[in-house]
Amino acid sequence: MLHRYWFRFLPSEEASVLNLGCGVTAYSTSDAEQMIHALVFPLFGEREIEKIVEDIDVRSLEENHVRPNMGNPAARGVWFPLIQ
Question: Which tens digit of pLDDT belongs to each residue from 29-74?
Answer: 999 999 999 999 999 999 999 999 999 999 999 999 999 999 999 9
Q: What is the pLDDT of residues 73-82, one digit of tens each?
A: 999 999 999 9
Q: What is the pLDDT of residue 54?
A: 98
> Cα separation of 16 and 36, whole Å?
15
Please state whether beta strands 3-9 and 49-54 pair in parallel, antiparallel, or not at all (unpaired). Answer: antiparallel
Rounded to 5 degrees, φ, ψ at 39 are -110, -35
